[in-house]
Amino acid sequence: MVAEEPALAKRRLILRDSISFAGLLFGTGMLFVITLFLFRSFSTRRAVLAQDWSSEGLRDLRAGRADAAIIDLRTALAYSPGTRAYELLLAQALGQADCSGCRDESYNYYMSLWEAQPGDGPINLALARLAAGRKDRQTAINFYRASIYGTWEGNGVDRRADVRLELAQYLIENNDLPAARLELLTAGTNAPDNFERDRKLGEMLQQTGDPVDAWTYDQKAVSDKPTDTAALRAAANLAYHSGDFEAAHRLFTREIAVLDAGHVSSDPDAAEQRTMARNAERIVALDPSSTQSPRERLARILAARTIAGKRFDQCSANFSAENPLPAPLEPIDARWVGPASALTSTALLRDPIQQTATMQLIFDTEIETAKLCTAPTGDDNLLLVLATSPHNVLAHAERQASTLVPLD
Protein backbone atom coordinates (compact mmCIF):
# COMPACT_ATOMS: atom_id res chain seq x y z
CA MET A 1 0.00 0.00 0.00
CA VAL A 2 2.79 2.30 0.92
CA ALA A 3 4.71 1.27 -2.23
CA GLU A 4 1.83 2.26 -4.51
CA GLU A 5 1.72 5.93 -3.36
CA PRO A 6 5.08 7.04 -4.95
CA ALA A 7 4.10 5.44 -8.24
CA LEU A 8 0.73 7.18 -8.20
CA ALA A 9 2.39 10.49 -7.40
CA LYS A 10 4.85 9.95 -10.25
CA ARG A 11 2.05 9.27 -12.73
CA ARG A 12 0.23 12.39 -11.56
CA LEU A 13 3.39 14.46 -12.04
CA ILE A 14 3.91 13.12 -15.57
CA LEU A 15 0.28 13.81 -16.45
CA ARG A 16 0.50 17.35 -15.09
CA ASP A 17 3.74 18.01 -17.03
CA SER A 18 2.22 16.59 -20.20
CA ILE A 19 -0.82 18.81 -19.87
CA SER A 20 1.43 21.83 -19.24
CA PHE A 21 3.62 20.99 -22.23
CA ALA A 22 0.57 20.52 -24.45
CA GLY A 23 -0.78 23.86 -23.28
CA LEU A 24 2.56 25.49 -24.00
CA LEU A 25 2.62 23.97 -27.50
CA PHE A 26 -0.93 25.09 -28.14
CA GLY A 27 -0.17 28.62 -26.95
CA THR A 28 2.97 28.78 -29.08
CA GLY A 29 1.06 27.53 -32.08
CA MET A 30 -1.67 30.05 -31.57
CA LEU A 31 0.92 32.82 -31.20
CA PHE A 32 2.60 31.67 -34.44
CA VAL A 33 -0.72 31.64 -36.30
CA ILE A 34 -1.61 35.10 -35.01
CA THR A 35 1.88 36.44 -35.88
CA LEU A 36 1.74 34.87 -39.36
CA PHE A 37 -1.70 36.31 -39.94
CA LEU A 38 -0.58 39.77 -38.86
CA PHE A 39 2.59 39.54 -40.99
CA ARG A 40 0.69 38.45 -44.06
CA SER A 41 -1.91 41.10 -43.47
CA PHE A 42 0.82 43.71 -43.15
CA SER A 43 2.63 42.42 -46.28
CA THR A 44 -0.61 42.45 -48.23
CA ARG A 45 -1.27 45.97 -47.06
CA ARG A 46 2.22 47.05 -48.13
CA ALA A 47 1.72 45.45 -51.55
CA VAL A 48 -1.63 47.20 -51.94
CA LEU A 49 -0.11 50.54 -50.94
CA ALA A 50 2.79 50.00 -53.33
CA GLN A 51 0.37 49.22 -56.16
CA ASP A 52 -1.77 52.25 -55.35
CA TRP A 53 1.24 54.61 -55.30
CA SER A 54 2.64 53.14 -58.52
CA SER A 55 -0.74 53.54 -60.25
CA GLU A 56 -0.85 57.16 -59.12
CA GLY A 57 2.70 57.62 -60.39
CA LEU A 58 1.75 56.15 -63.76
CA ARG A 59 -1.22 58.52 -64.02
CA ASP A 60 1.03 61.50 -63.21
CA LEU A 61 3.60 60.31 -65.72
CA ARG A 62 1.03 60.01 -68.51
CA ALA A 63 -0.31 63.46 -67.62
CA GLY A 64 3.17 64.96 -67.93
CA ARG A 65 3.59 65.53 -64.18
CA ALA A 66 7.02 63.92 -63.89
CA ASP A 67 7.94 65.60 -60.60
CA ALA A 68 4.80 64.29 -58.89
CA ALA A 69 5.35 60.86 -60.47
CA ILE A 70 8.83 60.68 -58.93
CA ILE A 71 7.40 61.18 -55.42
CA ASP A 72 4.68 58.61 -56.03
CA LEU A 73 7.07 55.99 -57.37
CA ARG A 74 9.66 56.52 -54.65
CA THR A 75 6.85 55.87 -52.14
CA ALA A 76 5.83 52.73 -54.04
CA LEU A 77 9.41 51.46 -53.88
CA ALA A 78 9.55 52.23 -50.15
CA TYR A 79 6.63 49.82 -49.68
CA SER A 80 7.95 47.29 -52.22
CA PRO A 81 11.75 47.63 -52.58
CA GLY A 82 13.41 46.18 -55.67
CA THR A 83 10.22 45.82 -57.72
CA ARG A 84 11.46 46.04 -61.32
CA ALA A 85 8.26 47.50 -62.77
CA TYR A 86 8.32 50.36 -60.28
CA GLU A 87 12.03 50.98 -60.88
CA LEU A 88 11.38 51.21 -64.62
CA LEU A 89 8.64 53.76 -64.10
CA LEU A 90 10.81 55.77 -61.71
CA ALA A 91 13.69 55.77 -64.21
CA GLN A 92 11.26 56.98 -66.88
CA ALA A 93 9.91 59.74 -64.63
CA LEU A 94 13.41 60.88 -63.71
CA GLY A 95 14.32 61.01 -67.39
CA GLN A 96 11.37 63.31 -68.12
CA ALA A 97 11.84 65.62 -65.13
CA ASP A 98 13.66 68.95 -65.29
CA CYS A 99 15.12 68.78 -61.78
CA SER A 100 18.86 69.05 -61.31
CA GLY A 101 20.53 65.66 -61.44
CA CYS A 102 17.36 63.82 -62.42
CA ARG A 103 18.70 62.79 -65.82
CA ASP A 104 21.87 61.40 -64.28
CA GLU A 105 19.85 59.51 -61.67
CA SER A 106 17.61 58.16 -64.44
CA TYR A 107 20.68 57.02 -66.37
CA ASN A 108 22.01 55.25 -63.26
CA TYR A 109 18.66 53.55 -62.65
CA TYR A 110 18.50 52.32 -66.22
CA MET A 111 22.12 51.14 -66.06
CA SER A 112 21.37 49.02 -62.97
CA LEU A 113 18.36 47.57 -64.79
CA TRP A 114 20.47 47.04 -67.92
CA GLU A 115 23.08 45.09 -65.94
CA ALA A 116 20.35 42.64 -64.96
CA GLN A 117 18.96 42.42 -68.53
CA PRO A 118 21.45 43.81 -71.07
CA GLY A 119 19.38 42.52 -73.98
CA ASP A 120 16.17 44.38 -73.07
CA GLY A 121 15.11 46.50 -76.04
CA PRO A 122 13.17 49.25 -74.21
CA ILE A 123 15.92 49.73 -71.62
CA ASN A 124 18.57 50.08 -74.32
CA LEU A 125 16.35 52.57 -76.13
CA ALA A 126 15.93 54.64 -72.97
CA LEU A 127 19.70 54.62 -72.42
CA ALA A 128 20.25 55.66 -76.05
CA ARG A 129 17.97 58.67 -75.63
CA LEU A 130 19.63 59.69 -72.37
CA ALA A 131 23.10 59.32 -73.90
CA ALA A 132 21.97 61.44 -76.87
CA GLY A 133 20.75 64.10 -74.44
CA ARG A 134 24.18 64.04 -72.78
CA LYS A 135 25.86 64.56 -76.21
CA ASP A 136 27.55 61.17 -75.90
CA ARG A 137 27.17 60.33 -79.58
CA GLN A 138 28.91 56.96 -79.83
CA THR A 139 27.33 55.63 -76.66
CA ALA A 140 23.91 56.69 -77.94
CA ILE A 141 24.50 54.90 -81.25
CA ASN A 142 25.68 51.76 -79.46
CA PHE A 143 22.58 51.66 -77.26
CA TYR A 144 20.33 52.33 -80.27
CA ARG A 145 21.84 49.35 -82.07
CA ALA A 146 21.55 47.19 -78.94
CA SER A 147 17.88 48.18 -78.74
CA ILE A 148 17.32 47.18 -82.36
CA TYR A 149 18.77 43.73 -81.76
CA GLY A 150 17.31 43.39 -78.26
CA THR A 151 14.17 41.65 -77.06
CA TRP A 152 10.77 43.30 -77.35
CA GLU A 153 7.35 42.32 -76.12
CA GLY A 154 4.59 42.42 -78.71
CA ASN A 155 5.33 43.35 -82.31
CA GLY A 156 9.12 43.34 -82.27
CA VAL A 157 9.43 43.83 -86.05
CA ASP A 158 7.62 47.16 -86.02
CA ARG A 159 9.30 48.29 -82.81
CA ARG A 160 12.75 47.60 -84.25
CA ALA A 161 11.85 49.47 -87.43
CA ASP A 162 10.71 52.44 -85.36
CA VAL A 163 14.00 52.42 -83.42
CA ARG A 164 15.92 52.37 -86.71
CA LEU A 165 13.99 55.42 -87.84
CA GLU A 166 14.82 57.17 -84.57
CA LEU A 167 18.49 56.24 -84.94
CA ALA A 168 18.44 57.51 -88.53
CA GLN A 169 16.95 60.82 -87.38
CA TYR A 170 19.69 61.09 -84.75
CA LEU A 171 22.33 60.42 -87.42
CA ILE A 172 20.78 63.05 -89.70
CA GLU A 173 20.91 65.58 -86.88
CA ASN A 174 24.59 64.71 -86.47
CA ASN A 175 25.16 65.09 -90.23
CA ASP A 176 26.08 61.43 -90.77
CA LEU A 177 23.90 61.11 -93.85
CA PRO A 178 25.37 57.91 -95.38
CA ALA A 179 24.86 55.98 -92.13
CA ALA A 180 21.35 57.42 -91.77
CA ARG A 181 20.47 56.36 -95.32
CA LEU A 182 21.67 52.81 -94.60
CA GLU A 183 19.50 52.59 -91.48
CA LEU A 184 16.47 53.88 -93.38
CA LEU A 185 16.88 51.42 -96.23
CA THR A 186 17.33 48.57 -93.73
CA ALA A 187 14.18 49.63 -91.86
CA GLY A 188 12.23 49.72 -95.11
CA THR A 189 13.50 46.28 -96.12
CA ASN A 190 13.07 44.47 -92.81
CA ALA A 191 9.59 45.72 -91.91
CA PRO A 192 6.31 45.16 -93.78
CA ASP A 193 4.82 48.04 -95.75
CA ASN A 194 3.09 50.56 -93.55
CA PHE A 195 1.59 53.83 -94.79
CA GLU A 196 2.88 56.05 -92.01
CA ARG A 197 6.32 54.43 -92.08
CA ASP A 198 6.54 54.74 -95.86
CA ARG A 199 5.69 58.44 -95.59
CA LYS A 200 8.36 58.87 -92.95
CA LEU A 201 10.93 56.92 -94.97
CA GLY A 202 10.27 59.07 -98.03
CA GLU A 203 10.65 62.27 -96.05
CA MET A 204 13.82 61.18 -94.26
CA LEU A 205 15.49 59.71 -97.35
CA GLN A 206 15.13 63.11 -98.99
CA GLN A 207 16.97 64.58 -96.01
CA THR A 208 19.85 62.16 -96.65
CA GLY A 209 20.10 63.28 -100.27
CA ASP A 210 18.53 60.16 -101.78
CA PRO A 211 15.54 61.29 -103.86
CA VAL A 212 15.38 58.07 -105.88
CA ASP A 213 14.72 55.81 -102.88
CA ALA A 214 12.52 58.54 -101.35
CA TRP A 215 10.45 58.41 -104.54
CA THR A 216 9.99 54.65 -104.11
CA TYR A 217 8.50 55.06 -100.63
CA ASP A 218 6.42 58.11 -101.57
CA GLN A 219 4.93 56.04 -104.39
CA LYS A 220 4.21 53.17 -102.00
CA ALA A 221 2.39 55.56 -99.70
CA VAL A 222 0.32 56.96 -102.58
CA SER A 223 -0.48 53.43 -103.77
CA ASP A 224 -1.61 52.47 -100.28
CA LYS A 225 -3.80 55.56 -99.80
CA PRO A 226 -4.41 57.14 -103.22
CA THR A 227 -6.70 59.84 -101.79
CA ASP A 228 -4.41 60.98 -98.98
CA THR A 229 -3.57 64.59 -99.84
CA ALA A 230 -0.43 64.69 -97.68
CA ALA A 231 1.03 61.65 -99.47
CA LEU A 232 0.10 63.02 -102.89
CA ARG A 233 1.60 66.41 -102.02
CA ALA A 234 4.86 64.89 -100.78
CA ALA A 235 5.25 62.77 -103.91
CA ALA A 236 4.33 65.68 -106.20
CA ASN A 237 6.80 68.05 -104.55
CA LEU A 238 9.57 65.45 -104.75
CA ALA A 239 8.89 64.88 -108.44
CA TYR A 240 8.76 68.64 -109.11
CA HIS A 241 12.06 69.39 -107.38
CA SER A 242 13.70 66.35 -108.95
CA GLY A 243 12.86 67.47 -112.47
CA ASP A 244 10.10 64.97 -113.25
CA PHE A 245 7.52 67.60 -114.11
CA GLU A 246 5.16 65.18 -115.87
CA ALA A 247 4.82 63.08 -112.71
CA ALA A 248 4.55 66.25 -110.63
CA HIS A 249 1.70 67.57 -112.75
CA ARG A 250 -0.12 64.25 -112.58
CA LEU A 251 0.21 64.03 -108.78
CA PHE A 252 -0.65 67.68 -108.17
CA THR A 253 -3.74 67.23 -110.35
CA ARG A 254 -4.81 64.19 -108.35
CA GLU A 255 -4.32 66.05 -105.08
CA ILE A 256 -6.44 68.95 -106.30
CA ALA A 257 -9.14 66.50 -107.42
CA VAL A 258 -9.21 65.01 -103.92
CA LEU A 259 -9.40 68.46 -102.33
CA ASP A 260 -12.24 69.45 -104.62
CA ALA A 261 -14.08 66.18 -104.07
CA GLY A 262 -13.88 66.76 -100.33
CA HIS A 263 -14.94 70.39 -100.68
CA VAL A 264 -11.76 71.55 -98.96
CA SER A 265 -10.33 73.60 -101.82
CA SER A 266 -10.25 76.53 -99.38
CA ASP A 267 -7.30 74.76 -97.74
CA PRO A 268 -4.59 77.47 -97.36
CA ASP A 269 -2.18 75.29 -99.34
CA ALA A 270 -4.65 74.49 -102.12
CA ALA A 271 -3.95 77.69 -104.05
CA GLU A 272 -0.22 77.00 -103.98
CA GLN A 273 -0.79 73.42 -105.16
CA ARG A 274 -2.91 74.66 -108.06
CA THR A 275 -0.16 77.09 -109.04
CA MET A 276 2.48 74.36 -108.91
CA ALA A 277 0.24 72.08 -110.99
CA ARG A 278 -0.10 74.78 -113.64
CA ASN A 279 3.62 75.48 -113.51
CA ALA A 280 4.48 71.81 -113.93
CA GLU A 281 2.10 71.54 -116.89
CA ARG A 282 3.63 74.61 -118.53
CA ILE A 283 7.20 73.40 -117.91
CA VAL A 284 6.33 70.12 -119.61
CA ALA A 285 5.09 72.18 -122.59
CA LEU A 286 8.30 74.26 -122.63
CA ASP A 287 10.83 71.47 -122.05
CA PRO A 288 12.55 70.30 -125.25
CA SER A 289 12.83 66.70 -124.09
CA SER A 290 14.88 64.16 -125.99
CA THR A 291 11.84 61.87 -126.00
CA GLN A 292 10.00 64.17 -128.41
CA SER A 293 10.18 64.05 -132.15
CA PRO A 294 13.03 66.11 -133.64
CA ARG A 295 10.65 68.76 -135.03
CA GLU A 296 8.71 69.09 -131.77
CA ARG A 297 11.96 69.42 -129.85
CA LEU A 298 13.20 72.05 -132.30
CA ALA A 299 9.96 74.03 -132.02
CA ARG A 300 10.34 74.16 -128.24
CA ILE A 301 13.99 75.20 -128.46
CA LEU A 302 13.09 78.06 -130.78
CA ALA A 303 10.22 79.16 -128.50
CA ALA A 304 12.48 79.08 -125.44
CA ARG A 305 15.20 80.99 -127.37
CA THR A 306 12.71 83.75 -128.11
CA ILE A 307 11.63 83.97 -124.46
CA ALA A 308 15.20 84.03 -123.12
CA GLY A 309 16.32 86.51 -125.81
CA LYS A 310 13.66 89.00 -124.77
CA ARG A 311 14.59 88.51 -121.15
CA PHE A 312 18.25 89.31 -121.90
CA ASP A 313 17.32 92.40 -123.93
CA GLN A 314 15.15 93.72 -121.07
CA CYS A 315 17.89 93.04 -118.55
CA SER A 316 20.75 94.54 -120.58
CA ALA A 317 18.67 97.67 -121.28
CA ASN A 318 19.22 98.62 -117.62
CA PHE A 319 22.93 99.12 -118.28
CA SER A 320 24.82 101.78 -120.25
CA ALA A 321 28.28 103.26 -120.80
CA GLU A 322 28.07 104.90 -117.38
CA ASN A 323 26.68 101.70 -115.86
CA PRO A 324 28.37 98.93 -117.83
CA LEU A 325 27.13 95.41 -118.22
CA PRO A 326 28.21 93.25 -115.24
CA ALA A 327 31.04 90.83 -115.93
CA PRO A 328 28.87 87.65 -115.68
CA LEU A 329 26.61 88.98 -118.46
CA GLU A 330 29.39 89.90 -120.91
CA PRO A 331 30.05 86.39 -122.27
CA ILE A 332 26.31 85.79 -122.53
CA ASP A 333 25.94 89.05 -124.46
CA ALA A 334 28.67 87.88 -126.84
CA ARG A 335 26.86 84.60 -127.41
CA TRP A 336 23.54 86.37 -128.12
CA VAL A 337 25.09 88.57 -130.78
CA GLY A 338 27.07 85.70 -132.30
CA PRO A 339 25.97 83.64 -135.29
CA ALA A 340 24.90 80.65 -133.19
CA SER A 341 21.95 82.56 -131.71
CA ALA A 342 20.62 83.34 -135.16
CA LEU A 343 20.72 79.86 -136.63
CA THR A 344 17.66 79.03 -138.67
CA SER A 345 15.33 76.24 -137.79
CA THR A 346 16.66 74.20 -140.70
CA ALA A 347 20.26 74.59 -139.53
CA LEU A 348 19.36 73.74 -135.93
CA LEU A 349 17.34 70.71 -137.00
CA ARG A 350 20.42 69.26 -138.68
CA ASP A 351 22.82 70.04 -135.83
CA PRO A 352 22.10 68.40 -132.43
CA ILE A 353 25.27 69.95 -131.00
CA GLN A 354 23.96 73.46 -131.74
CA GLN A 355 20.62 72.51 -130.23
CA THR A 356 22.38 71.65 -126.99
CA ALA A 357 24.45 74.86 -127.16
CA THR A 358 21.29 76.92 -127.70
CA MET A 359 19.59 75.35 -124.69
CA GLN A 360 22.70 76.05 -122.60
CA LEU A 361 22.57 79.70 -123.69
CA ILE A 362 18.89 79.85 -122.71
CA PHE A 363 19.58 78.35 -119.29
CA ASP A 364 22.65 80.52 -118.63
CA THR A 365 20.65 83.60 -119.58
CA GLU A 366 17.82 82.82 -117.17
CA ILE A 367 20.21 81.95 -114.33
CA GLU A 368 22.43 85.04 -114.61
CA THR A 369 19.69 87.57 -115.30
CA ALA A 370 17.82 86.29 -112.24
CA LYS A 371 20.86 87.24 -110.16
CA LEU A 372 21.49 90.67 -111.67
CA CYS A 373 18.12 91.97 -112.87
CA THR A 374 14.52 91.95 -111.71
CA ALA A 375 13.02 88.67 -110.58
CA PRO A 376 11.78 86.61 -113.53
CA THR A 377 8.08 86.03 -114.05
CA GLY A 378 5.93 83.85 -116.28
CA ASP A 379 7.75 81.62 -118.71
CA ASP A 380 11.11 83.14 -117.76
CA ASN A 381 10.60 81.94 -114.20
CA LEU A 382 9.61 78.47 -115.43
CA LEU A 383 12.65 78.26 -117.69
CA LEU A 384 14.73 79.18 -114.64
CA VAL A 385 13.10 76.32 -112.70
CA LEU A 386 13.89 73.99 -115.60
CA ALA A 387 17.47 75.32 -115.77
CA THR A 388 18.15 74.79 -112.08
CA SER A 389 16.33 71.45 -111.65
CA PRO A 390 18.07 68.11 -111.91
CA HIS A 391 17.50 66.50 -115.26
CA ASN A 392 14.74 64.18 -114.10
CA VAL A 393 16.77 62.47 -111.38
CA LEU A 394 13.90 60.01 -110.94
CA ALA A 395 14.07 58.78 -114.53
CA HIS A 396 15.94 55.60 -113.60
CA ALA A 397 13.69 54.88 -110.59
CA GLU A 398 10.93 52.36 -111.06
CA ARG A 399 7.88 54.25 -112.26
CA GLN A 400 4.77 53.25 -110.39
CA ALA A 401 2.48 56.12 -111.38
CA SER A 402 0.73 54.03 -114.03
CA THR A 403 -0.14 51.38 -111.46
CA LEU A 404 -1.61 53.76 -108.88
CA VAL A 405 -5.26 53.23 -108.03
CA PRO A 406 -7.27 55.77 -110.05
CA LEU A 407 -9.52 58.25 -108.30
CA ASP A 408 -13.24 57.57 -108.39
Residue 43 has a pLDDT of 58
Digit-coded pLDDT (tens) for 338-365? 877 778 888 888 888 898 889 999 999 9
* Model confidence band, residue 309 (pLDDT cutoffs 50, 70, 90): very high
* Model confidence band, residue 402 (pLDDT cutoffs 50, 70, 90): very low
Q: Is 280 within 8 Å of 304 (Cβ atoms)? A: no
* Model confidence band, residue 247 (pLDDT cutoffs 50, 70, 90): very high
Digit-coded pLDDT (tens) for 37-79? 555 655 566 667 777 777 777 787 777 787 787 777 778 777 7
| Helix (H) / strand (E) containing 160 | helix 156-173
Residue 404 has a pLDDT of 38
Backbone φ and ψ for 266, nearest 5 degrees, come out as: -80, 0
Residue 403 has a pLDDT of 39
Q: Is the pLDDT of residue 25 over 90?
A: no
Average pLDDT over residues 190-217: 93
* Model confidence band, residue 405 (pLDDT cutoffs 50, 70, 90): very low
Average pLDDT over residues 96-122: 85
> Cα–Cα–Cα angle for 108, 109, 110, nearest 5°?
90
Mean pLDDT lowest for which of 185-189, 243-247, 319-323?
319-323
Q: Is the pLDDT of residue 166 over 90?
A: yes
Q: Is 132 within 8 Å of 97 (Cβ atoms)? A: no
- Whole-angstrom CA distances from 127 to 70, 96, 104, 135, 215 are 18, 13, 11, 12, 34
As a whole number of angstroms, the distance between CA 208 and CA 222 comes to 21
208 CB burial (10 A radius; 0-12, 13-18, 19+): buried
Can you list the positions of beta strands (E) in 298-389?
A: none
Mean pLDDT lowest for which of 94-98, 118-122, 277-281, 335-339?
94-98
* Model confidence band, residue 97 (pLDDT cutoffs 50, 70, 90): confident
Residues in the chain: 408
If one compares 402 and 285, the residue with the highest pLDDT of the two is: 285
Residue 191 has a pLDDT of 84
- Share above pLDDT 70 across residues of the chain, in percent, rounded to a whole number: 84
Residue 40 has a pLDDT of 60
Cα dihedral 21, 26, 29, 34 sign: negative
Q: Is the pLDDT of residue 90 over 70?
A: yes
Q: Is the pLDDT of residue 401 over 50?
A: no
As a whole number of angstroms, the distance between CA 339 and CA 233 comes to 45
Helix/strand/coil percent split, the chain, to 5? 75, 0, 25
Q: Is 373 within 8 Å of 353 (Cβ atoms)? A: no
Residue 45 has a pLDDT of 66
